[in-house]
Each structure stands twice: as C-alpha cells, then as structure tokens.
Chains A and B, each alone.
Chain A
Amino acid sequence: MAVKFSVSNLDLYYGDFQALKNINIRMNENEVTAFIGPSGCGKSTLLKSLNRMNDLVEGCKITGTVLLDNVDIYKNMEITELRKNVGMVFQKPNPFPMSIYDNIAYGPRTHGIKRKSQLDEIVETSLKQASIWEEVKDRLKKSALGLSGGQQQRLCIARALAVKPEVILMDEPTSALDPISTMKIEELCFDLKKEYTIIIVTHNMQQATRISDKTAFFLHGEIVEFGETGQIFAMPKDKRTEDYITGRFG
C-alpha cells in the first residue's frame, strides 16, 4: 500500500501553546485512517495541517514536514493545488447559499471548467459518488439549504469530490447527523476509499471501528498509539489508549 501522506517531526504552536508535539505518522492511499482522542488533544489540528488550514490562524507556527505523494506541502506546493488534491468535510454541513447544482459546479468553475456539458457530467458523477443523486436529481436548481442535514453533508462530500481530489479529510462529519444519515456517510466512506484516501476525526469509537483501517490515538498533542484499527480496539498496547477507549478518562 503506497503512502499518501507522510508527516515527520511535526510541531505546531498556537503562540506559546504547543498543540502538536513531534508527530510522525504515515497514511496509506485507499485506506481510511481515523484520528481519535479527547477534546483538545490535537487531532483536528493535525487534520487541518494536512491541507494547511492553520496557515490563517494568527500566531500559528509549524515545523517539521508534511509530504503528500513525497512533495512537501509547506514548501513545494501551491496552496490551490494542495486544496484541490485534499478536500475537506466539516462537522457541520456548510452548503453554499446557492442551488444544489451550483454548489457542486463551484469548485470545477473555479478551476476553469466552463462548458455546461462537462459541468453537468461532473455534477452528476459527484452526486452519484456521494450517494445523493437519486434524492436530488429532480431538484438540482433548488437551493441546497432546503436539504436535510444528512443530505447537506453528502452534498458537501459531493462538492469536495467535484474537483477530483486524492484525499478527503473529514472532521467529525456525522456528529450532527441522525443514525440513518450517519450510516449513509459511513457506507459512503467504505465505497470512496477504493478511489480516495480518507482521514477522519471522530469522537464515535464505534464509528472508528466500523469504517477505518488504521486508527491513531491522540493525547495532549501527541500520538500515543497508531496501528490497525482491529488491534487498537481489541488489544491496545498503551494503557492510556485502553483507558480512553474503555471510557476510563476523557
């Protein structure tokens, strides 16, 4: 399995506060990697570092390297290229206040695609990949804000897919969704990993066991343990991992 993201000796500071400490982790392509840990442990911070979303945070300082396909994303890659390759889905669905069609076409248009037939195809393919096409195909011109929370989240995934990324980052994508919508997103992750690399932050332990191949447990800005998900949840090596996943702290 080829390595997609390789993070080495990464330290991240918000002013004087060190949010990530000497992070070393490799994430394989066509796998789902889950980041787990208590609030404030650094998992979302690392996720955001993977497409440089911390750049805009005042006082944020990063050292170490983050390689995407062996290219240093902080030194040798344009941020627009990075963001095209690494899409992101957030905790709260955030469709743009425009039609379903325009939400999906927004990214490709930004990247210069203007031809309607081409955009039509991208919209349909992306919505199909995100398992929402059947639900919205007859109302593509309607506002995306009229969709349910679960549909909005799948729309956001479709929007991320529309620019043909290689990696999808998900920051607690189902924490605001009901069980059925959650199941749909989880099923989707399972399908999408055949073509994409997925990295997901989740507070739901069962979700991590269901959808991820590898799991990293974070605590106080460090990765305590990283390994096969089955091993982490059945036989964790570190007592802190055991204590966290069994609910003894956190």
Chain B
Amino acid sequence: MRSNFDAQLKELNLDMLKMAGEVENIINMSMRAFLKGEHDVARETIEYDYQINEIERQIERRCLKLLLQQQPVATDLRRISSALKMITDMERIGDQAADIAQLSLRFENGMVPQKLNHIVSMASETSKMVTDAINAYVSSDTSLAEKVITDDDRVDELFNEVKDDLIEFIRNNIEVGEQAIDLLMVAKYFERIGDHAVNIAEWVVFSITGVHKNSKIM
C-alpha cells in the first residue's frame, strides 16, 4: 500500500550503512596514517573527509524530501528525524579523523613511540561503536544501542591510560614535549569520536522508543 515510501526508507537505511562504513574506514585510515607516519595515507584521509561530507548532504536531501513528500508520523517520523541527527555526528567523526591525519603529517615514520597500545585500542573501540550504533539503527536493536552508550566508558578509561602513558613518556624524553602534546590531541580526538558514537546511539534509542536521554521530546 505504501511501497514507494517503504522503498525510500530502505534506501535511507542503505545510505546510513554506507555512511557508517565510510566513517569506519576513515577512522582506520587516520590511525594508519598516524601510527605508520604514512603521509600519503594522511593526505588521502583528509580528502576522504570530503566524501563523507558529500554522503551527509545526500542523506540530508533524502530525509528532507521524505519529510516534504510523506509528512511522516510515528515510527517513520522518528526514524527520519533520528537519521538527520545521526549524520551530523557521523560527519563530525569524519572531521576528527581528518584532524588526526592532519596531525600525523607532523610525524615522520618511526617518530611515534612504540608504546601506543592504548591509542590503538581507542581507534578500534570507537570504530566498532559507530558500526554497532548504525547496525542498531538499521535493525531497531535497543540493547545494541545501549551497549554502545556503555562502551564509551571503556574509551574514557583508555584516554586516561593514554594520559598516564604520555606523562611517563615526557618524563623519560623531556625533549619530545611537543610531540607528546600532539599525541594527547590524537587521543582526545578519539575520545570525542567515542562521544559522537554515543550521541548516535542515543538517537537510535529515540528512533525505537521515542525517548531521548530519558526524556520524551515529542
């Protein structure tokens, strides 16, 4: 009865999965650029961010067209409005990955200290959080979305561990203070990426339950 509308909602889901995939890629690319000091990859990452911005525009257009043409209510309204909010956070994650890549251009290969396990873990944790949040959206899985929200505690813990690592690093290598500050910024970007993933997950919960951060907003 509403095959056209349903088809467009499916397309929206596919777009969201595509954007999540691109966001996952850019996080991994920024990590590679940073860890291995590969400047080509860093520049590629910065370019890739424009691609993510373009997908955001496409999804925005699709959502606005759906709002205009279908005047959605109930679940449809919640899904479309959530998508509009979620893509803003995904786009910001792209920006932060590009910022990490930008910082990594200041590092030469081998300049980055080996003991960076915690930053590596932050990258993989946050990347997984984004993927899980979008999977929760597509499959309307509240418990998966809630898991993403609690997973952020681990990212915050990792950030604190990175800080401890860096304090020790500076203590032993007083001449590399500037580099340590850059590393701290990289960790901070990952910590922010975790926060954005939480925002995404909170909108997923809203799209399913109508409740956003424990309050009814409609």
Contact = CB atoms under 8 A, between A and B. Distances in A.
B5 interface: yes
Given A230-B218, A235-B210, A247 B2 contact: yes
B73 A245 contact: yes
B174 interface: no
Given A206-B71, A245-B73, A235 B2 contact: no
B75 interface: yes
B73 A233 contact: yes
A234 B208 CA distance: 11
B218 A246 contact: no
Contacts, number: 39
Contacts of A241: 74
Given A230-B218, A233-B77, A234-B218, A246 B210 contact: no
B75 A246 contact: yes
A180 to B, nearest CB: 18
Nearest to A243: B74
B76 interface: yes
A174 to B, nearest CB: 16
Interface in B54-81: 71-78
**How many A residues touch the partner, as a band?**
10 to 19
Contact of B1 (A205, A230, A235, A248): A248
Interface string B172-206: 00000000000000000000000000000000000
A205 B70 CA distance: 11
Nearest to A235: B210
A246 B2 contact: yes
B77 A248 contact: no
A242 interface: yes
B75 A242 contact: yes
Given A234-B210, A235-B210, A245 B218 contact: no
Contacts of A248: 1-2
A233 B1 contact: no
Categorize the interface residue count of chain B. 10 to 19
Nearest to A249: B1
Contact of B74 (A206, A234, A249): A234
A203 to B, nearest CB: 14
Interface in B1-38: 1-2, 5
B218 A205 contact: no
B210 A247 contact: no
Contacts of B218: 230-231, 234-235
A54 interface: no
A113 B2 CA distance: 55
Contacts of B2: 246-248
Contacts of A246: 2, 72-76
A209 interface: yes
A237 to B, nearest CB: 10
Contacts of B74: 233-236, 241-242, 245-246
A234 B5 contact: no
A206 B1 CA distance: 19
Nearest to A247: B2
Contact of A247 (B5, B77, B78, B216): B5
A249 B210 CA distance: 22
Contacts of A206: 71
A186 to B, nearest CB: 15
A213 to B, nearest CB: 15
Given A230-B218, A235-B218, A209 B1 contact: no
The interface centre, meaning the residue of A230, A242, A245, A246 with most chain B CB atoms within 10 A of its CB, is A246
B115 to A, nearest CB: 50
Contacts of B1: 247-249
28 contacts: A205-B73, A206-B71, A230-B218, A231-B218, A233-B73, A233-B74, A233-B77, A234-B73, A234-B74, A234-B78, A234-B210, A234-B218, A235-B74, A235-B78, A235-B209, A235-B210, A235-B216, A236-B74, A241-B74, A242-B74, A242-B75, A245-B73, A245-B74, A246-B2, A246-B72, A248-B1, A248-B2, A249-B1
* Top-10 shortest CB links A-B: A235-B210, A234-B218, A233-B73, A247-B2, A245-B73, A242-B74, A246-B74, A236-B74, A246-B76, A206-B71
